[in-house]
Amino acid sequence: MMMETTIKKGLFYCMFIVMLLPLAQHCFSFVESAALEGGFKAADDTTFSIEGWREGGYQQQKEKYLNDATGFRADLVRLNNQLDYSLLDKCHTAWTVKGKERYLFQRPYLDAYVGLDYIGYEAILQNSVKLKAIQDTLAHMGKSLILVYAPSKATSYPEYFPDRWGRMKQGTTNYATYRHICDSLGINQVDMDAWFVAMKGKSKEPLFSLQGIHWTNYGAILGGDSLIRYMERLTNIKVQHPVWTQMEHTSKLRAGDDDVARELNLIFPVATETLAYPVIQDVPDSGQKKINAIYIGDSYAHKMVEFGIVYKMNDQCEFWRYFDEMHDINDHKFTYIREYDWTGAIGKADCVVLVYTIFNFNQLGNGFIDQAYNHYYTEKVKSTN
């Protein structure tokens, strides 16, 4: 009887201490917990006011703050996420899904691959005709327009899709329709998506990681170097290319190569993999002319332009993120397109390059095509309205 009472008291005290630990951590922060990854932002504390109390705003904000500031909250979130991921294949992010053999994917890419986001032949034809008109106008101005199909992890590895998408029959896709129509119209195209599929199993280094959604740092540099060579042929401008034959191999992924896995906020790594990171050797500047270029696109374009080697071979190097933000890579400037003389910038460029992956072909150009067409063909637009 005495032993049973002692055990019960011991369990009670242990439970009491465990229940007090979050409060103690909140008050004294005696253990340093790693912050959560991704877009999580803890709620701010609030100050008491009679007006806030009467309207209920104080209580609501205080509740949010206390919830986010609970001791060990980040560790408890990671524990919950790990249990769901390991036991239920559930990912606590908006888009990420767990594929086979530890491959991570995101839903919009899978939807685009099977054609669930198809916008229709007529919409793509109309957009493509406008794009060809813009290309013709820029050609008369001595400039080149290029449409780049950035590679997609979904296109390269459909065999690792979760069963839900793996069982779907592939329908008509925006990518395939754009590829066909733009080819028939004579639009300058670089299909890196098909190229990366052709290199599958043959590339010296991994082009995609298990834990990321974008091309690897190696893949982005390979793609960027190839794109610059294509631009050289169109512009007749020969530039000096950095040397990147030497590789650093490491299992400590960087440059966003594990971006999706990090956002899952797990305790244990999704996978252990070794990737190659080119060691960039700049060649001495001989004063040789560089290509002035504007890149319009998504995060695949951003990784290739700013975190690869493309910017090193451009003088003017602007990245227009979703035709919303203007990032001047070499001059380290930023503004919004709505506040920027983007038509004037095109006047200084040798090339205008649209770089999108399959996920974003349902909104190719993000308004650039319509606005540029309206700018260069004002009278024609007026006559049709």
Closest CA to 277 of 310, 248, 257: 248
Q: Distance between CA 343 and CA 72 in Å, rounded? A: 52
User: Is there a contact between 342 and 353 (Cβ–Cβ < 8 Å)?
Assistant: no
pLDDT band (50, 70, 90) for residue 385: low
Determine which of 42-51, 150-159, 355-364 has the lowest per-residue pLDDT on average. Answer: 42-51
Q: What is the mean pLDDT of residues 354-371?
A: 97
HSE of 291 in the Cβ direction (CA atoms, 13 Å)? 30
Least confident of 166-170, 184-188, 377-381: 377-381
Report percent pLDDT > 70 for the chain.
Answer: 82
Residue 70 structure tokens:
């609970």
| Nearest alpha carbon to residue 351 among 177, 148, 126, 182 | 148
In sequence order, the 6+-apart residues with CB closer than 8 A to the CB of 108 are: 95, 117, 359
Alpha helices by DSSP H, the chain: 2-28, 50-55, 57-68, 73-88, 107-114, 121-140, 153-156, 163-166, 174-185, 192-198, 217-235, 259-263, 299-306, 342-348, 368-376, 378-384
CA atoms within 13 A on the CB side of 24: 8
The Cα–Cα gap between 378 and 58 comes to 54
Task: Express each pLDDT in 237-246 by its tens digit.
Answer: 999 999 999 9
pTM for the whole thing? 0.86
pLDDT digits (tens, 9 = 90+) for 298-342: 999 999 998 889 999 999 999 999 999 999 999 999 999 999 999
Return the amino acid letter for 19. M
Q: Across residues 160-169, what is the average pLDDT?
A: 91
Least confident stretch, 22-31, 60-69, 190-199, 340-349: 22-31
End-to-end CA distance of the chain: 93
Give the integer Cα–Cα distance in Å for 161 and 1: 58
Q: Looking at the predicted structure, is the pLDDT value of residue 176 above 90?
A: yes
pLDDT of 383: 64
| Residues 249-290 pLDDT 10s | 999 999 899 999 999 999 999 999 999 999 999 877 777 889
| Residue extents of the structural domains in the chain | 2-71, 97-384
- Return mean pLDDT, the chain: 88
Q: How many CB atoms lie within 10 A of CB 293?
A: 28
Q: Given this model, what pLDDT does residue 142 score?
A: 96
Instruction: Name which of 79-88, 142-151, 294-303 the model is least confident about.
Output: 79-88
Listed range (28-32, 107-111, 121-125, 259-263) with the worst mean pLDDT:
28-32
Tokens linked to 316? 């003017």
pLDDT at residue 34, rounded to an integer: 78
